[in-house]
């Protein structure tokens, strides 16, 4: 926003301006370096729900050896954009959203810290409240580090491209440093660790441009092979796994998948997003690759079912599907199995704020 709109987003001047603005925040006193290593507790409150995370650094080596587990593929062009941002700014300003299976002892320490007055407390323009507490006490920091050493795996909830760029730049710095010993700051990246039970994954819905040459009756006839179809009294937000909302011709329908589809032993194949893709989008609507097909678009649940209706009623799209959210348990099971989720499977809210915490690579 500080540059001429004609400048390409990946122009070197863009990354240079990012570094300039970051340095200005530091020189102006908006960002202040803590005098000693510390951790932070970070709370986000949206729609009456609060999630408490622990802010610290994660290991580049653990990213590469899969101690930090992934569930998405990354794109090389987006990786390189993030890498260049890190190289030029020499910093991680956008934390990776990590989760882990709950640990009662970690919860107790975080709750004790958060019982005190926060260092920062503000409500952003989108209505999300952000609070943070500084963890200065060396004993508390040591106890938390010891507890996390016993947690076998971390899972990337959101931030696959940011973590990939941190891993790539970390390796670059290591190879360029003849005195590399593994303790340098480039061996770590900024992250927020949230216990799985506190996270909320929202629905990630789809709109499709046309019926692939079918009439409405032909489409419903094909749906009947694997789904029970019933009319809904109004907008349908699926309440259970295997249920889908369909908006077509100004009418909402409930689609319930067959038991055979839900009982598939493959954890990826039985995801709702997979069922929709393999049973409807690809074979019926001709959308074989949702990553590249221009006839489909994806709408995060934060925008509501009204956005699905708007896109269809405007004539831009022909039909819409609302989905039941993927669960954190499903995400972890798939990552544990070394498998990859289909694109646009999860939508996490609230998003982590960039710039509240910054980690420099040296």
176: enclosing H helix or E strand: helix 160-176
Task: Identify any residues that bridge with 278 across adjacent strands, giving them in sequence order.
Answer: none
CB neighbour list of residue 283: distance below 8 Å, 6 or more residues apart: none
Q: What is the pLDDT of residue 118?
A: 98
Distance, in Å, from the CA atom of 296 to the CA atom of 281, rounded to the nearest integer, reads: 9
CB neighbour list of residue 348: distance below 8 Å, 6 or more residues apart: 97, 157, 158, 199, 200, 201, 202
CATH 3.30.1760 in the chain is located at 204-324
Q: What is the pLDDT of residue 342?
A: 87
Residue 192's nearest CA partner among 92, 125, 112 is 92
Q: What is the pLDDT of residue 343?
A: 82
Cβ pair 242, 257 in contact under 8 A = yes
Residue 14's nearest CA partner among 82, 108, 116 is 82
Torsion sign (Cα): 133, 139, 145, 150: negative
Distance, in Å, from the CA atom of 238 to the CA atom of 40, rounded to the nearest integer, reads: 37
Q: What is the pLDDT of residue 21?
A: 96
Distance, in Å, from the CA atom of 245 to the CA atom of 235, rounded to the nearest integer, reads: 8
pTM summary value: 0.89
Q: What is the pLDDT of residue 292?
A: 87
Mind listing the pLDDT tens digit of every residue in the chain (362 residues)? 899 999 999 999 999 999 999 999 999 999 999 999 999 999 999 999 999 999 999 999 999 999 999 999 898 999 999 999 999 999 999 999 999 999 999 999 999 999 999 999 999 999 999 999 999 999 999 999 999 999 999 999 999 999 999 999 999 999 999 999 999 999 999 999 999 999 999 999 999 999 999 999 999 999 999 999 999 999 999 999 999 999 999 999 999 999 999 999 999 999 999 999 999 999 999 999 998 899 999 999 989 999 999 999 999 999 999 999 999 999 999 999 999 998 889 989 999 999 999 999 99
User: Distance of alpha carbon 316 from its chain centroid, rounded?
Assistant: 27
Cβ pair 311, 317 in contact under 8 A = yes
User: Distance of alpha carbon 306 from its chain centroid, rounded?
Assistant: 23
The SS3 of residue 35 is coil
Torsion of CA 177, 180, 185, 191, to 10 degrees: 110
Architecture of domain 204-324: 2-Layer Sandwich (3.30)
Q: What is the pLDDT of residue 17?
A: 97
Residue 302's nearest CA partner among 202, 197, 214 is 202
Exposure letters 117-146 (e unless 16+ CB within 10 A, then b):
ebeeeeeeeeebebbbbbbeeeeebeebee
Residue 155's nearest CA partner among 186, 194, 103, 184 is 194
Task: Identify any residues that bridge with 308 across adjacent strands, giving them in sequence order.
Answer: none
Burial class from Cβ neighbours inside 10 Å (0-12, 13-18, 19+) for residue 153 reads middle
| φ and ψ of 176, to 5 deg | -85, -10
Cβ pair 357, 190 in contact under 8 A = yes
Burial class from Cβ neighbours inside 10 Å (0-12, 13-18, 19+) for residue 331 reads buried
């Amino acid at each position: 926003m500080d540059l001429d709109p004609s400048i390409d987003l990946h122009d070197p001047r863009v990354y240079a301006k990012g570094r300039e603005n970051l340095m200005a925040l530091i020189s102006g006193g908006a960002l202040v370096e803590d005098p000693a290593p510390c951790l932070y507790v970070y709370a986000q409150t949206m729609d009456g729900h609060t999630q408490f995370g622990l802010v610290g650094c994660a290991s580049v080596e653990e990213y590469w050896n899969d101690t930090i587990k992934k569930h998405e593929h990354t794109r090389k062009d987006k990786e390189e954009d993030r890498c260049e941002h890190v190289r030029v700014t020499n910093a991680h300003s956008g934390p990776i959203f990590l989760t882990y299976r709950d640990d009662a002892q970690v919860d107790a320490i975080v709750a004790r810290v958060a019982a005190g007055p926060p260092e920062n407390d503000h409500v952003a323009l989108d209505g999300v409240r952000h609070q943070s507490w500084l963890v200065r006490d060396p004993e508390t920091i040591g106890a938390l580090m010891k507890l996390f050493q016993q947690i076998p795996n971390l899972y990337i909830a959101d931030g696959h491209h940011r973590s990939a760029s941190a891993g790539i730049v970390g390796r670059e710095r290591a190879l360029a440093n003849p005195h590399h010993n593994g303790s340098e700051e480039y061996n770590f990246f900024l992250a927020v660790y949230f216990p799985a039970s506190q996270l909320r994954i929202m629905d990630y819905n789809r709109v499709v441009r046309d019926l692939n040459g079918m009439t409405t009756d032909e489409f419903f006839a094909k749906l009947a092979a694997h789904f029970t179809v019933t009319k809904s009294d109004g907008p349908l937000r699926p309440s259970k796994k295997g249920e889908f909302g369909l908006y077509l011709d100004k009418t909402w329908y409930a689609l319930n998948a067959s038991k055979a589809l839900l009982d598939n032993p493959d954890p990826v194949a039985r995801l709702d997003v997979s069922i929709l893709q393999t049973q409807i989008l690809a074979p019926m609507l001709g959308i074989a690759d949702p990553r590249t097909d221009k006839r489909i678009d994806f709408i995060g649940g934060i925008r509501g079912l009204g956005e699905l209706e708007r896109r269809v009623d405007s004539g831009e799209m022909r039909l819409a599907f609302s989905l039941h959210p993927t669960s954190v348990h499903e995400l972890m099971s798939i990552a544990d199995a070394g498998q990859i989720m289909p694109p646009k499977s999860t939508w996490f809210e609230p998003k982590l704020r960039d710039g509240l915490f910054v980690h420099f690579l040296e």
